[in-house]
Amino acid sequence: VMRRFIVAGGQLGPISRNETKASAIKRMSELMKQAAERGARLIVFPELALTTFFPRWWSDNKAAFDAMFETKMPNNDVLPLFQLSEELEIAFHLGYAELTPEGRRFNTAILTNCKGRIVGKYRKIHLPGHSDEQSWRPFQHLEKYYFEKGDLGFPVFDMHNWKLGMCICNDRRWPETWRVLGLKGAELVVLGYNTPLHYPPAPEHDHLQYFHNELSVQAGCYQNGLWSVAVAKAGYEESCELIGGSIIVGPTGEIIARAQGSHDQVISSEIDLDRCREIRENIFNFDEHRQPNEYSLLAKE
């Protein structure tokens, strides 16, 4: 059973508002081919990878952006990626906007196995930004307006004898996300993000955006003894600069691969899931050292 294998991150450059989903899928297919050439068994694509980051615009009518959402998965637009996954025997993670049959909207990601079959699904829980129009901002961040809080918890999926966890973007900043995934035995956490370089409420933090991205993922990996692949949609997208900095991080908290620049590109590394034990049997041995009786405050409203 393969516990050592190559993982890849498929960073995307900007997606314009008028770019088609078919075009985005074509770009991801190219990255998937490159990853397969490197021997990767899994490639991670970003949050909202099929469209521009549309929550940067206000509309009185949410349905004005319904074309940005997927009502089923797979669908005709994304089918080529699923077919390529099966052909190349490479699993993938894909973030997208989901519109359910009941009319609910989520910021969602799916995970397939190496046969292009969906094995996992996650809906973003820590939605950042605001739910009202704030016209003072140079761009809006309306995830709380366009999406509901995820309702699937933080699930961990068994696939190919790997234990995979999922989260999305802002979730990575919250230690509780990583701890719940770690407690559930995740050995590899995959996530995508669309993170603006400029943060209007606290612009004095703008120069820290890349640092905070790495800090969050490195801490999550080290404190829970797991691997992570964190992948950006990056670059100057519709008047908003998004950070790149996609990374692969080991259970020691070390960065072992990092994207350069903010264009479409593949990062990859061999990982060994058995190395999770180095942390989990020692300094962060949960059974030996955790003191959950002292943490009750964490679960209070």
Active-site positions read: 47, 124, 169
- Name the 3-class secondary structure at 83: helix
Q: Where are the alpha helices (DSSP H) in 158-281?
A: 175-183, 209-224, 276-280
Sign of CA dihedral 135, 139, 141, 146: positive
Q: Are 21 and 77 in contact (CB under 8 A)?
A: yes
**Torsion-angle region of residue 41: left (phi > 0), alpha (psi -120 to 50) or beta?**
alpha
Backbone angles phi, psi at 240, to 5 degrees: -135, 125
End-to-end alpha carbon distance in the chain: 43
Sign of CA dihedral 180, 182, 184, 190: positive
Q: Report which of 197, 94, 108 is spatially closest to residue 146, judged by C-alpha positions.
A: 108
Q: Report which of 109, 215, 222 is spatially closest to residue 166, judged by C-alpha positions.
A: 109
Number of residues assigned to the chain: 301
Q: How far is residue 199's CA from residue 240's CA, in Å, rounded to a whole number?
A: 11
Q: Cα–Cα distances in Å, from 118 out to 19, 93, 110, 165, 240?
A: 25, 9, 7, 14, 32
Q: How far is residue 48's CA from residue 192's CA, in Å, rounded to a whole number?
A: 8
- Name the 3-class secondary structure at 248: strand
